[in-house]
Structure 1
């Protein structure tokens, strides 16, 4: 018989020739290693840390929008897309301690987020003070801020805290940035 006819024989013969000399447990171990290595690739992929907040207007206001927070090596990128704001106006964007948007007067809002150790310095900038954003002539504000003092996990995590847009912006030239007026929109940061 010609050689090509022997190789094209029955399936049992082809299988026998292919795995000739290898015990079954070696083949199973090789298959298991292959599956584990493929699984490790998924396990060690770079998983993006992300959270979102939907901002709804506070009583008497119309500003609304979305906030997306993405963890980066240099902090948290806070991307905002807000509408129905007063045209050509500056507003302070802040993270507050409690994730509660039901009571929105200055007296009822929780303090701006900061670690207890950071609160000891009078008039110091707090972790939750993300910065000012500006509405254009149509009352729209889009862009991002990189917040270096907060994170999406650990002790500086802003997850489940309220993020508020306040009526006024902070004055970068004063030592007391905490007078920003009432919130005009609020949302809770969630994964």
Structure 2
């Protein structure tokens, strides 16, 4: 009888150990979920060249607490050159020169102030000696939802770089490539 009792006690210990491991596992997973937070919002744009140009690639958007990280991977740019990367009001790249995308995205009142930088001015990008531009920009003034959302708008690579002292209401030079920003 003692062997049977010992076996039952041993089985009970195993059951309790399994329950304890399962409980710890659940607590650990719950902790990871709160540590990792919510899934980041994401969007992507496939850029295609405007007529007479060869620029193409992708621009992706990931929203973080400090802004939207805008990563770009573009090819077909002139070697060793700088270009403006901008979000425009309308998600329409149908015009051969991308003019259907409208003005640079500017939802806040800053666009009324001469020389003010608007939200859609993401910054300048640099193409290497092979005409390839890769990197990222953190854009603190835009989001992937709400009034400052860039979703369903166009992202354009312009021929010229942004002049930090000028107000680029219509962009900076002709568009080399254009793409619609879509949620992933």
Alignment TM-score, normalising by the size of structure 2: 0.78
2:156 aligned with 1:164? yes
Cα distance in 2, alignment partners of residues 48 and 98 from structure 1:
24
Deviations 1:143-175 (A, max 9, x none): 111111111122111111110001111123x33
- Please point out which of 73, 76, 101 is paired with 1:109: 101
2:175 aligned with 1:183? yes
Deviations 1:132-151 (A, max 9, x none): 11111110011111111111
Cα distance in 1, alignment partners of residues 128 and 48 from structure 2:
19
- Please point out which of 50, 67, 72 is paired with 2:59: 67
Q: Report if aligned partners of 1:54, 1:65 keep a CA contact under 8 Å in 2.
A: yes
Q: Name the structure 1 match of 2:110.
A: 118
Gaps in structure 2 of 5+ consecutive residues:
16-22
The structure-2 alpha-carbon separation of the partners of 1:189 and 1:106, relative to structure 1 and needing over 3 Å to count, comes to closer
User: How far has the Cα of 1:38 moved from its partner?
Assistant: 8.6
Q: How many residues align?
A: 170
Q: Name the structure 1 match of 2:4.
A: 5
Computing the radius of gyration from Cα coordinates, the structure with the larger value is 1
Cα RMSD (Å)? 2.8
Q: Which SS does the other structure have where 2:69 is aligned?
A: strand
Q: Which SS does the other structure have where 1:4 is aligned?
A: helix
Cα distance in 2, alignment partners of residues 156 and 74 from structure 1:
14
Cα distance in 1, alignment partners of residues 176 and 146 from structure 2:
29
- Please point out which of 145, 152, 157 is paired with 2:144: 152
User: How far has the Cα of 1:182 moved from its partner?
Assistant: 1.6
Gaps in structure 1 of 5+ consecutive residues:
19-32
Alignment TM-score, normalising by the size of structure 1: 0.76
Cα distance in 2, alignment partners of residues 67 and 106 from structure 1:
16
User: How far has the Cα of 1:50 moved from its partner?
Assistant: 1.6
Q: Name the structure 2 match of 1:48.
A: 40
